[in-house]
């Protein structure tokens, strides 16, 4: 197993099915804060469903189509980031994130996502990284902006949450922009 030091007692590590109990405890703490933004938060409500969420990402990893990472702060899982979609052949991926209140305001997501972007571009040759967020998710929008992403557009009424349709902003970053070649 590997861990990437994010500074300030925080680490980025793979989040896997065998960690379902810890993941469930974290999601129970985080659910109210992350449920409007992360679809699987409301589906991970017991050990079996939490394990299924983690297994889904493990299956994506095995297919080179996605991956899930946790962020631990002083030994406690407080959030994470993921390759929602990963398509090396097409040179595109989508990155997402979540964070419980105990980890907020410390730059953890920005530092963690920076590692994912850098690996995707430099190691895997990804050309276009996508970030999607509801316009009212100001924390997520701020991460996209801090990482130098550009707003591509808005998908109107695209995201259904609790019977209400919300817009989705699509942000992107191209490899030449990340590498300073643009």
Q: Go through the domains of the chain in sequence order and give each one's CATH number.
A: 4-179 (3.40.630.30)
What pTM was computed for the model?
Answer: 0.93
Per-residue burial over 143-172, b if 16 or more Cβ lie within 10 Å, else e, is: bbeebebeeeeeeeeebeeeeeebebbbbb
Report the candidate in 63, 71, 64, 55 with the shortest Cα–Cα distance to residue 120.
64
Round to whole Å and give the CA distance between 31 and 19.
17
Q: What is the pLDDT of residue 182?
A: 61
Question: Are residues 102 and 95 in contact, defined by beta-carbon separation less than 8 angstroms?
Answer: no
pLDDT digits (tens, 9 = 90+) for 36-87: 888 888 889 999 999 999 999 999 999 999 999 999 999 999 999 999 999 9
Q: What is the pLDDT of residue 181?
A: 77
Q: What is the pLDDT of residue 92?
A: 98
Q: What is the pLDDT of residue 165?
A: 95
Quick one: tokens of 140?
Answer: 């997520």
Q: Which residues of the chain have pLDDT under 70?
A: 1, 182
- For β-strands 128-133 and 92-99, DSSP reports them as parallel
């Amino acid at each position: 197993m590997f861990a990437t030091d994010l500074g300030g007692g925080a680490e980025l590590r793979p989040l896997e099915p065998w960690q379902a109990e810890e993941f469930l405890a974290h999601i129970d703490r985080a659910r109210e804060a992350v449920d409007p933004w992360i679809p699987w938060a409301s589906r991970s409500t017991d050990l079996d469903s939490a394990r299924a969420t983690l297994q889904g990402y493990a299956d994506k990893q095995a297919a080179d189509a996605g991956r899930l990472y946790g962020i631990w702060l002083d030994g406690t899982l407080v959030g994470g980031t993921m390759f929602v979609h990963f398509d090396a052949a097409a040179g595109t991926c989508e990155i997402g994130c979540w964070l419980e209140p105990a980890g907020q305001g410390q730059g953890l997501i920005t530092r963690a996502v920076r590692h994912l972007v850098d690996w995707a571009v430099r190691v895997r040759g990804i050309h276009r990284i996508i970030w999607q967020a509801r316009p009212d998710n100001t924390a997520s929008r701020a991460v996209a902006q801090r990482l130098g992403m550009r707003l591509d557009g808005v998908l109107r009424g695209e995201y259904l949450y609790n019977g209400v349709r919300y817009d989705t902003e699509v942000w992107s970053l191209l490899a030449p922009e990340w590498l300073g070649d643009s």
